[in-house]
Amino acid sequence: MAVASLSTISVRWPCSSPATPRRSSPAPPSVPTAGSGWPREERNGSVSAAATESRLSGRTAIVTGAGQGVGLGIAHAFAAAGANVVIAARRAETGEPAAGEIRARGGSATCIVTDVTSRSDMEACVAATVNQYGSLEIMVHNAFRGGTGHRFEDATLDLWEQNSRSAVWGSYYSAVLAFPHLQRAGSQGRLILLTSPAGVEGSVNIPMYSAVKAAQRAMTKSLSKEWGPLGITVNAIAPVAQTPALAGAFAENPVLKERVEARASLRRIGDPERDIGGVAVFLASEEGGYVTGQTIVCDGGSFMGL
C-alpha cells in the first residue's frame, strides 16, 4: 500500500511557547492529574484504569506517531497507567484531538507537532517535554511514513529513503536525544521501538519495510547492551493490530481481513490500546525492569516461529 511522501514541518507549540519553561507545575493547569479521574468501567477493547492507573505514576513519556493507530493506543494506555504523555504527531489535526481524548478521560496529555525525520524537531520536542513536566523517563518511537507495497525490483532510491528516514533515522533521533534524560532516570529509563513481524521473517512485496524494521530490531539489541549497565531497558514490540491503514485495506479487500484473522490463533486482530498498549505499559513499568533487548511479537499467535 503506497504512502504519501515525507514532508518536513516545523514544530509548533499549541499549548505554550517553548521559550517559557514551565517547571513549576508537572502538567498544564487545565489538565487533570493522570489517572485521578480515569473512567473506572472497562470498555470493550480498553485498559482497565483500576488495575493500571498507578503503574507509571509520576513518569513522563513521549510517543511518536501517536495521533492514531497503535501510537494512540499506547498513549491511552500510558495515561491510564498514570503517566504524563506527550503526543509527538506530524499533524496537529490528528495530534490535538488525540491529546484531547486523553484529557477527556482524565489523563495528562500534550500534543507537540513534530516531524521525527528532523533532528531539530525532535530536539525541540524533547526539550519542551522536559521543560513542561520536569523529566523524561519513557521514549516510544512508533511513527512510520514511507512507501510500501512494492516488489524489490520496482523499489526506487526515493522509496528506500522514505522508509529509512522515519523508521531508522526516527529511531536514532528518539534514542540519542532522549538518552541523557533516560540516563538520569536510571532504572526507570525506557526506550521502546515499534517494529513489525515483517522485520523478523520478511514479507513479500514489502522488502523496504521489512529491512528498516529489521534495522530497528538490531538497534534494540545493540542499545540494550550499551545502556544496560546504566539501568535503561531497550525493547521492541512487533504488533499486528487495527490501524487506519489496515482498516482501509480491509475495506478494499474484505477477504484480506478474513485471512489475517484466520492466521491468528486467537482469531482476532489486536486492539491498539488493550493489546499493544498493555504490553508497552508492562515494558515501561517496574514489572518490566528485567526485560531488555527483546522483540515482543504481539500478534495473537500469527507468527509463532519468530
**Domain range summary for the chain, segments of one domain joined by +:** 54-298
Give the phi and the psi of residue 108 in degrees, each rounded to 5: -105, 115
Q: Are 144 and 88 in contact (CB under 8 A)?
A: no
pLDDT digits (tens, 9 = 90+) for 257-282: 888 888 888 898 888 999 999 999 99
Whether 173 is catalytic: no
DSSP state of 186: G
- pLDDT at residue 52 in the model: 54
pLDDT band at 292 (very low <50, low <70, confident <90, very high): very high
**Separation of first and last alpha carbons in the chain:** 24
- Nearest to residue 197, comparing CAs of 188, 209, 182? 209
Mean of pLDDT over the chain = 83
Which is the catalytic residue, given 133, 172, 173, 209? 209
pLDDT digits (tens, 9 = 90+) for 103-133: 999 999 999 999 999 999 999 999 999 999 9
- pLDDT at residue 306 in the model: 55
CATH architecture for segment(s) 54-298: 3-Layer(aba) Sandwich (3.40)
Q: Classify residue 78 as exposed, middle or buried by CB count within 10 Å of its CB (0-12, 13-18, 19+).
A: buried
Mean pLDDT across the stretch 60-87?
97
Mean pLDDT across the stretch 38-65?
68
Q: Are 54 and 82 in contact (CB under 8 A)?
A: yes
- pLDDT at residue 91 in the model: 95
- The pTM of the full predicted model, rounded to 2 decimals, is 0.81
Nine-digit cell at 82?
498514570
pLDDT digits (tens, 9 = 90+) for 171-188: 999 999 999 999 999 999
